[in-house]
Structure formats: structure tokens, C-alpha cells
Amino acid sequence: MFEKILIANRGEIACRVIKTARRMGIKTVAVYSEADSRALHVEMADEAVAIGPPPASESYLVMERIIEAARQTGAGAIHPGYGFLSENAAFVEALSTENITFIGPNADAVRLMGDKISARDFAMEAGVNTVPGCSDVITGAKQAIGIAEDIGYPVMIKAAAGGGGKGMRIAHTAREVEEGFTSSMNEARASFGDDRVYIEKFVTSPRHIEIQVLADGHGNAIYLGERECSIQRRNQKVIEEAPSPFLDDKTREAMGAQAVALAKAASYQSAGTVEFIVDESRNFYFLEMNTRLQVEHPITELITGIDLVEQMIRIAAGEKLSLTQKDVSLKGWAMEGRIYAEDPYRSFLPSVGRLVRYHPPEERAGESLVVRNDTGVYEGGEISIYYDPMIAKLCTWSPDRMQAIDAMSDALDGFRIEGIRHNIPFLSAVMEHERFRAGTLTTNFIAEEYPSGFQGVALDSTRSKALAAVALFVTHIEMLRAQGIAVATGREEHVLTVRMDDEFHHGRIKPGSDGLHIFWREGDVGEQKNGVLVSSDWKPGMTIFEGKVGSDYLVVQMTRDITGSMTLTYRGTMIKAVVMTPGACELVDFVPREDSSGGGGFLLCPMPGLVVSIGVVEGQEVKAGEPLAVVEAMKMENILRAERDCTVSKIKCAPGDNLSVDDVMMELE
């Protein structure tokens, strides 16, 4: 077994590998760019080596610097994580010449499966079902349009060296093919150093289901069930679960058998994932094979009890698999939510900055509930523009799917992040969505359910009342504290009103030995019989309420602004609550409302990023929906379009400019 390994990666996956290595008694070496000098993975590792400037192309992607770091520290093996050099055959070969073990498959398998075109052809030869398409490398937009029209719309434009949703575009028209071809090439070049793309038929109403495989260097290969990865945005997975709510045993076994057959045909060794597109009739088609650890590997670990990182290390050390297919059993259900630094209320645009607060839910490992949070950040750390915007991978496990979903909802409610925008409200909303809970999923889920973007979740009357009760409970406790009355013995009643948007909830709060009894009132008339008991250990200063409102258990985040009003965050909803006395409530109608009308004569940069191109000139008339500019942020290209018919009066930036959020890019008339 190895005495010391180097992790050629950063962030949460580097921390994840370090944890397993530490448990196995293996020392670890971290590498870091200038932007990551104070990163969590650097702190966790036994040793750390600086490898260059912030851009990945000058640090994490420079194999010579990674190898030199291994030489300096005496690391006998390198775990690549995912992304960066994890699927680079030249890197595997370079390590071999240095007598450094690559914790992953051999170079031939990496090269074969890492090139999506050759992988597709090889899969066909191996008898694996494949999607109709053209494997030829496309050299121009005109050729791309011709191929797309021959195959028939919609089509998927894909990077030959792609992965992780980079360099992928769905196109329904010739115009979208032309735009997608250019963006796919640019993203592929930036992410993989390879701008080759190809086209295949896009299966409508598809599910994205993948099979986890393990193979050793002794001819043994098994599969560890499947993961459902259909909740995607821009071909990037957002929520995954294991197993799939759609597969039956027969389909699972057939997909598993094909995945294992492909791995054996490729002489594969290590952990790998064979991804399939599955249609409504459970017909499945090979999508690609990822010759590395997947981002979503924790949910497979949770339902199988198998540490995939440990298996990769043991296989790389020459050991045989200690498991056979009969030893693999799937227990319970697991969910994973990818928490990203992005603003779901602004088309999921990236957000960068300092994590002013970072308080994840407490990790647990019980017989009926597991909460796991794989992360590489900490409170006070920076989310950089240079790398993927993932903050953490929050996972839950329970005996059945509904329990796992509810556990994820509670964990998300208790996950507190401040200082940057994040997608937790969106993840919470999906967990609550009837279609998601029913398991009726496709890769079009987000586009179909949120066609105009995510605007939050409207509360029903029951939950609105429950949040109003929380606001009253919190305010009552704070008032007792302010009056110098001990909470435990306080018997003072309060009559208060909660205003949430344009809704008013009037309540009388009566302390009791079992909590606070809140009786709802209509105006100033007598008490209603529909009171509710609120019980919690909440104390002034706490930012999260955990407790029971009636028979329901709630986890609610709370922040106060300088006016004293509070913002309550629960199940994908952020709502402002103002608690007032009856006298103050009578004056509400006399308070002027805020003017919510905005300007509109400018194109503002929606995120910190690099201007890739400007698609218009001054004086040009454009129609709504036409592209104005392209901005790259966190390795993804974002096309900015005109929201209305207008004329470009002035362009205030140029390709190559680095812009901050809300910088003026153009003046529009």
C-alpha cells in the first residue's frame, strides 16, 4: 500500500480524498494555486506545495508542476479527483515514466473513453446501445447545421473531450446550432484544451441515469447500482439520487451488464461511470463513460456502504476486488444537492466573494438518517472566479425515498450561507415540487417547471400561518429579554401582528409550560379557537429556528435588517416579516410604499466575468432575444440577449475586459 499520495485537485474533492487516505493511514500532499493558498484542502493535508497563479491553465492543469510536487514530497501515487487532469491520458503516461502510480485507469482506457467520439464508436462495437448521431469531428458552423438537419432536430452539440456539462449545447434550430457550435468549441478549448465537437440526436423526455462500475487489474468488474441525474441545468447536474425511482430490476440488470461489458472490453481498472440516456419506455442509450470518480459518488457510497475512494486506492495498489456482484446490495435511498455559488433569482448567474457566514447542518450517521456534507470551503473563505462555483455537496440517506427527500429539505433549511448568492432556495423548491416527489423526472424538468426562471415559491395559507407563528414566537422571546424577564418563568402575554407581504396575521401569545400558545385573531375581535402551540429551544441571537409549530417540525432561517424586520427562509421561500403592535398596525396604510419600478436603458454585466465577444455595433437596431455579448465566468460562457427591441447607442466594454457585477456594458435606447 502507498505511504503517501498527492491529490492533483482542489476544493471538496481534495478534502474528500484526504479523509479516506487519513482513515487508511496514508499521508497526503495537497497542491494549490495562489488563489488557494488558504484553502481548506491545503490545511487538511499533511503537506502542501504551491504550483502557480490562479488560472487553472497555469497551475492545476500544468502536469509538469504536479509531477514536480510529487517528486519533491516523495508521493508514490497521485489521485486526480475529477476535472483538471483526471481524464488526461498524457498525464497518466507521464506519471508512469516517473514511476508514480496514477490512482485511476490506465492510459489506453482514459484515451479511449475520454474522447467521446472514439468512446461512442467503441461502445457500438462492444454491443452497447448508442444514440443515433454523427461521430465525425465538425470543423465549421455550416457543416454543423447540415449534420443537424440530416439527423433531425433537436440535436446535442458535444465536446469530444467533454465532461461535467462543459462544451454541451442543445439546439432546436439552425440559429441555435450556429450559436451553440461556437460556444461549445470555446468552452471545450478553455476547459479541456481540445475544441473538437460532434453532434448526436437529442432524445426528448430523457432521463439521465448512470451506472457506477468498479474494475481491478485482474479481470474482475462489478456494478454498484445506478444514480438518477436528470435534474440538470445547462447539462450540469444539480440534484442526484440513488437508486432511480424509474428503473425496474430488469432494466437495472441490463444496464449494469452492458456497463460491465464495456469496462471489460476497454480493459478498465478503477472506479468509473457509464452514463446512459433512458427514454419513457426504459430504452437506454450509451452517452459516455467517465474514467474517473464522479461528483455524485457519495450517494452510491450511502446506499452500498462501499467507499469508492478506498477502492480506487486499493485497485491502483494492485489489489483484487474484495467484492463480487453478489456482495452488492442497495439499501435505502440517498439524495445529493449540489450547492453552487450562483443566484437562482438572476438566471443562476455565478456569484463570487467572501463567505461571511458558512454554517452547514450538522452531519449525522444513524440507522434511519444520514446527513453528509462534502465541502472544501469555510467561513471567511473566498469563492473565486477562477474555478467551478460548487460550494458543497449536501447528501441525505434514509430507508425510503420520501424520508430521504424530507431529510434533504430539513438539511437545506438549516444550511446558512451569507456573503454570496447561492442556490439553496432553488434546491429546496425542487424537493417540495410535486412532480419531483412523484419521481416523474426528465432532463427537461427545470426548463419545463421554471420556464421563466426561478422566482421563489409561493406559500400556501398553512405554511404562511406557520411562519407567522415563528415570527411571533421569536419576537415574544426577544421582548421578554429586552424587558429583563427570564424566559423560563415569563408569563407575560403579548398581542402582536405579523405582516408578510400584504398578508396580516393577528395573534395573542400566551406562555405555557409546554411552549407558547398562539391564538389567531381577526382584527381586534375575540380569540379564535384555532390556536397553535410553538415549542423550541430558540434563544435571542440564534439565526436558525428549530422547533415544532403544532405537529410540524420546522427549520427556519432568520435575519434582521436595520429596521428590525426579519427575513424568513424556508423551503425555497424568502419572505419578509414585520412584527408590530396593534397601534403600529393601524398606521401601516399611511406608510408610503417603495417604488419598485426600475430603469432599463443599460445592459449590465450580470456577474463578474471576462468579456469574450461583442455581437453588435453602436447604432445597430436589435430585436428582443438577439445576442448582444458573451461573458465567461467560472468556465462557462453566458450569452447576454436583448430583453426588448432597442438600439445600441454606446458600447462601454471590449473583448478581454474583466467586469464586475452590474458594470455597464452598453447603453440602449
Where do we find the cell 439499501?
A: 331
Task: Using DSSP, state whether 8 is helix, strand or coil.
Answer: coil
What is the rounded CA–CA span in Å between residue 53 and residue 32?
9
What is the rounded CA–CA span in Å between residue 61 and residue 9?
9
Asked if 155 and 178 touch (Cβ cutoff 8 Å), the reply is no
Residue 371: is it exposed, middle or buried by C-beta count within 10 angstroms (0-12/13-18/19+)? Answer: buried
Q: Cis before residue 243, ω within 30 degrees of 0?
A: yes
What is the rounded CA–CA span in Å between residue 425 and residue 439?
20
What is the rounded CA–CA span in Å between residue 668 and residue 650?
7
Q: Rg for the chain (alpha carbons), in Å?
A: 27
The one-letter amino acid code at 420 reads I
Residues 6+ apart with CB under 8 A from 590: none
**319 DSSP 8-state letter:** P
Which cell is 415 given? 444550511
Give the H/E segment covering residue 316: helix 308-316
Asked if 190 and 632 touch (Cβ cutoff 8 Å), the reply is yes
What is the rounded CA–CA span in Å between residue 264 and residue 316?
16
The one-letter amino acid code at 231 reads I
Q: Cβ of 386: how many Cβ atoms within 10 Å? A: 20
What is the rounded CA–CA span in Å between residue 17 and residue 632?
30
The one-letter amino acid code at 644 reads R
CA-based nearest residue to 666, from 597, 606, 608, 582: 606
Beta bridge partners of residue 639, listed in sequence order = 630
Alpha carbon 469 to chain centroid, angstroms: 32
Query: How would DSSP label each residue in 518-531?
Result: EEEESTTSPBPS--
**Does the annotation count 3 as an active-site position?**
no
CA-based nearest residue to 360, from 395, 403, 400: 395
- Phi-psi group of 493: left, alpha or beta (phi > 0 → left; psi -120 to 50 → alpha; rest → beta): beta
- Cα-Cα-Cα-Cα torsion 620, 625, 629, 635, nearest 10 degrees, comes to -170
What is the rounded CA–CA span in Å between residue 403 and residue 333?
8
Q: Report the side by side order of strands in the sheet with 602-604.
A: 602-604, 664-668, 646-651, 621-622
Q: Cβ of 669: how many Cβ atoms within 10 Å? A: 9
Active-site pick, 12, 179, 240, 288: 288
* CA distance readout (Å), 468 to 496, 503, 528, 552, 556: 11, 10, 16, 14, 11
The one-letter amino acid code at 541 reads G
What is the rounded CA–CA span in Å between residue 533 and residue 551?
9
Q: How far apart are the first and last CA of the chain?
A: 68
Which cell is 482 given? 429586552
Q: Cis before residue 154, ω within 30 degrees of 0?
A: yes
What is the rounded CA–CA span in Å between residue 467 and residue 470?
5
**Positions marked catalytic:** 288
